[in-house]
């Protein structure tokens, strides 16, 4: 039979740049806004409880 074709390999960083361009073009949020706001608003309490303040 014929030779097996090697899978395509991108150069280092090429795939990351493609993903950056892809996500910069989209307007949808990766993390829903409501859950993000909930997490951010709980941070000061956590910092106080664990003594980081």
Spell out the alpha helix ranges (H) of 1-53: 14-25, 33-49
Which sign, positive or negative, has the C-alpha torsion 16, 22, 24, 30?
A: negative
Contact 41, 48 (CB under 8 A): no
Considering only residues 49 and 19, tell me which one the structure prediction assigns the higher pLDDT: 19
User: What's the Rg (C-alpha) of the chain?
Assistant: 21
Q: Which pLDDT band holds residue 15 (cuts at 50, 70, 90)? A: very high
Query: What is the average per-residue pLDDT within 14-42?
Result: 90
Helix, strand or coil, per DSSP, at residue 33: helix
Q: Which two tokens stand for residue 15?
A: 């795939």
**pTM above the 0.75 mark?**
no
pLDDT band at 9 (very low <50, low <70, confident <90, very high): very high
């Amino acid at each position: 039979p014929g030779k097996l074709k090697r899978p395509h390999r991108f150069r280092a960083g090429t795939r990351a740049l493609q993903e950056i361009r892809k996500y910069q073009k989209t307007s949808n949020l990766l993390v829903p806004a409501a859950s993000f706001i909930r997490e951010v608003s709980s941070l000061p309490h956590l910092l106080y409880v664990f003594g980081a303040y």
